[in-house]
């Protein structure tokens, strides 16, 4: 019995959003998604009461879209605490430091409870650190306002945790993905098409280009972020369509055949989310240590956001078309992001039940076998082993490289943000399409449920 089993009562009794007792229709699920989105935008546009906005310091400007956060509002922490808790738990379980078998319903319940408890813990921790280190200063530095800001952040963070559960159980996809996509789409629309003037020209990229074009001095460099966004978008869509399909036969129905798809981006975009949040936490710790007089990880200039030391390589590089572009920083950042994405991809596949052994067991339990091979689970696992480890590493490296490419071209919403949004919307489309098909043909629900 592992350490967490001793606290099973606590971990499995945390408040949670109950699963629906009956199958929800498309309209019902869509309604919950819209409700949660409206609450998210309300939180993201409500400023923290008691905050001294003039002295506030946004250490994570470039990471806001990835964290689905908006600095100075109730959504300042975004999904950071949820993903940070997931990262730590994934590493502990993946490294066998915590003994949990996620194929066991009891252990899976303990895992989910631990993840939620860690998310609550990091919500409180990050809220306190942001206030104490001066990123979110209170008006007049009054203690009561400091406590009030922390309380607001903790309450909003807890609400985000449960909103994520509502979307995953009553809507489509996950709340984390929905919030990221909503934030990135908002930024793309605002930065790309903002018609309001700033500095004598429209602030949006497209209006600004046409303004300069009509005035005889077209600013082609202003289009680089838009082109970078389109390039990353096109490559991600192409990668999403790449897959290896393993033929299967269904033993319960003679002649029934199907295919098990192994996508090139097998671990989805989860690894690059984990990598980006880890980088955000390194910056958070660096800023905190700098604040207390021990800048062992380096320093971050409060006015410009320029970092030095180790933390410098964990911050987003300047786009290639800017005067202060640093090629060394760009190369190290890219290699670091690729490496972290590969490592988290491997951890995610091993701990999320997507490895060859687990998938082989699921297929055998569903009565599936590969044509031309015996139905032995070891045979199925051997066939899957040819593909899953390879696409895990290659897919993780590819999403890391694409995210870095987007950042270096200054893509709207950030390279990682665009990458995540395209993948999120693609999978959301697939889930909605599958749900609609099963709603039209109810008999398919049972068959699809057996297969997967």
| Residue pair 75/217 in contact by the 8 Å Cβ criterion | no
- Whether residues 146 and 37 fall in one domain: yes
> What does the pLDDT look like over 212-228, one tens digit per residue?
888 888 878 888 888 88
Rg (CA), the chain: 23
In this predicted structure, what is the pLDDT of residue 215? 87
Last residue of a domain, one of 195, 213, 233: 195
CATH of the domain at 76: 1.10.3370.10
> What does the pLDDT look like over 101-142, one tens digit per residue?
777 888 888 989 999 999 999 999 999 999 988 889 999 999
Of 439, 426, 400, 441, the C-alpha closest to 177 is 426
Q: In this structure, is residue 320 part of a structural domain?
A: yes
Q: In this structure, is residue 202 part of a structural domain?
A: no
| Structural domain count, the chain | 2
- Residue predicted with more confidence, 251 or 4: 4
**C-alpha to C-alpha distance for 413 and 400, rounded to whole angstroms:** 16
Q: In this structure, is residue 215 part of a structural domain?
A: no
In this predicted structure, what is the pLDDT of residue 411? 87
**C-alpha to C-alpha distance for 275 and 343, rounded to whole angstroms:** 9
> What does the pLDDT look like over 42-78, one tens digit per residue?
999 999 999 999 988 887 676 787 788 999 999 999 9
Average pLDDT, the chain: 86
In this predicted structure, what is the pLDDT of residue 412? 85
Partners of 201 in beta bridges? 198
> What does the pLDDT look like over 414-424, one tens digit per residue?
888 888 888 88
For residue 238, give every residue at least 6 positions away whose Cβ sits within 8 Å of its Cβ, in sequence order, or none.
none
- Whether residues 314 and 451 fall in one domain: yes
- Tell me the pTM: 0.79
Helix or strand or coil: residue 243?
strand
Q: In this structure, is residue 5 part of a structural domain?
A: no
Q: Could you please report the per-residue DSSP string of 247-304? A: EEEETTSTT-EEEEEEESSTTTTHHHHHHHHHHHHHHHHHHHHHHTT--TT--B-TTT
Helix runs in 12-104, H state only: 26-44, 80-94
- Whether residues 283 and 395 fall in one domain: yes
Grade residue 1 by pLDDT with cuts at 50, 70 and 90. low
- Whether residues 259 and 126 fall in one domain: no
- Whether residues 273 and 410 fall in one domain: yes
Q: In this structure, is residue 61 part of a structural domain?
A: yes
- Whether residues 354 and 225 fall in one domain: yes
- Whether residues 313 and 418 fall in one domain: yes
- Whether residues 236 and 118 fall in one domain: no
- The answer on pLDDT for 312 being more than 70 is yes
- The range of the structural domain enclosing residue 92 comes to 26-195
Instruction: State the chain's maximal CA–CA distance in angstroms.
Output: 76
> What does the pLDDT look like over 376-416, one tens digit per residue?
788 889 989 999 999 999 999 999 999 898 888 888 888 88
Last residue of a domain, one of 144, 179, 195: 195
**C-alpha to C-alpha distance for 420 and 320, rounded to whole angstroms:** 22
> What does the pLDDT look like over 246-280, one tens digit per residue?
888 876 555 567 788 899 989 888 788 788 878 87
Last residue of a domain, one of 195, 213, 241: 195
- Whether residues 90 and 172 fall in one domain: yes
Strands (E), 335-407: 368-369
- Whether residues 284 and 135 fall in one domain: no
- Whether residues 191 and 245 fall in one domain: no
Q: How many CB atoms sit inside 10 A of residue 432's CB? A: 16
> What average pLDDT score do residues 308-316 get?
87
In this predicted structure, what is the pLDDT of residue 78? 93
Helix runs in 133-174, H state only: 143-170
Q: In this structure, is residue 7 part of a structural domain?
A: no
Query: Any idea which residue has 């989910």 for tokens?
Result: 112
Q: In this structure, is residue 435 part of a structural domain?
A: yes
Grade residue 445 by pLDDT with cuts at 50, 70 and 90. low
> What does the pLDDT look like over 354-369, one tens digit per residue?
889 888 888 888 778 8
> What does the pLDDT look like over 171-190, one tens digit per residue?
998 898 899 899 888 888 88
Q: In this structure, is residue 377 part of a structural domain?
A: yes
In this predicted structure, what is the pLDDT of residue 62? 65
In this predicted structure, what is the pLDDT of residue 434? 77
- Whether residues 256 and 319 fall in one domain: yes
């Amino acid at each position: 019995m592992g350490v967490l089993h001793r606290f099973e009562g606590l971990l499995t009794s945390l408040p949670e959003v109950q699963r629906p007792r009956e199958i929800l229709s498309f309209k019902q699920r869509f309604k919950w998604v819209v409700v949660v989105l409206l609450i998210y935008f309300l939180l993201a546009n409500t400023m923290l009461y008691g905050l001294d906005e003039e002295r506030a310091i946004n250490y994570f400007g470039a990471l806001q879209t990835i964290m689905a956060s908006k600095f100075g509002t109730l959504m300042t922490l975004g999904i950071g605490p949820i993903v940070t808790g997931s990262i730590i738990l994934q590493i502990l379980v993946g490294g066998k430091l915590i003994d949990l078998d996620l194929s066991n319903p009891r252990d899976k319940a303990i895992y989910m409870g631990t993840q939620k408890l860690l998310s609550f813990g990091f919500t409180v921790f990050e809220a306190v650190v942001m206030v104490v280190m001066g990123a979110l200063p209170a008006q007049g530095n009054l203690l009561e306002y400091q406590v009030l800001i922390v309380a607001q952040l903790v309450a909003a963070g807890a609400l985000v945790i449960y909103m994520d559960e509502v979307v995953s159980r009553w809507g489509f996809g996950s709340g984390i993905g929905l919030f990221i996509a909503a934030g990135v789409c908002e930024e793309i629309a605002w930065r790309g098409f903002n018609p309001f003037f700033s500095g004598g020209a429209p602030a949006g990229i497209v209006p600004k280009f046409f303004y300069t074009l009509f005035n005889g001095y077209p600013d082609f460099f202003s289009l680089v972020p838009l082109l970078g966004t389109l390039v990353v978008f096109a490559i991600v869509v192409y990668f999403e369509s790449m897959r290896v399909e393993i033929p299967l036969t269904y033993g319960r129905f003679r002649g029934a055949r199907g295919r098990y798809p192994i996508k090139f981006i097998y671990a989805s975009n989860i690894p690059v989310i984990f990598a980006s949040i880890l980088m955000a936490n390194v910056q958070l710790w660096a800023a905190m240590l700098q604040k207390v007089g021990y800048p062992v990880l380096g320093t971050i200039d409060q006015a410009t956001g320029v970092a030095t030391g180790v933390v410098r390589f964990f911050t987003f590089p300047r786009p290639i078309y800017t005067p202060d572009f640093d090629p060394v920083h760009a190369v190290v950042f890219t290699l670091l992001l690729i490496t972290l994405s590969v490592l988290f991809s491997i951890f995610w596949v091993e701990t999320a039940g997507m490895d060859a052994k687990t998938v082989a067991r699921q297929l055998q339990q569903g009565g599936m076998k590969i044509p031309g091979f015996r139905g032995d689970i070891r045979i199925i696992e051997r066939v899957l082993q040819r593909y899953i480890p390879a696409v895990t590493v290659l897919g993780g490296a590819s999403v890391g490289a694409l995210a870095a490419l987007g950042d270096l071209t200054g893509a709207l919403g950030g390279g990682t943000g665009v990458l995540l949004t395209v993948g999120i919307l693609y999978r959301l489309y697939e889930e909605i399409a599958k749900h609609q098909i099963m709603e039209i043909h109810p008999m398919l629900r049972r068959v699809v449920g057996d297969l997967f």
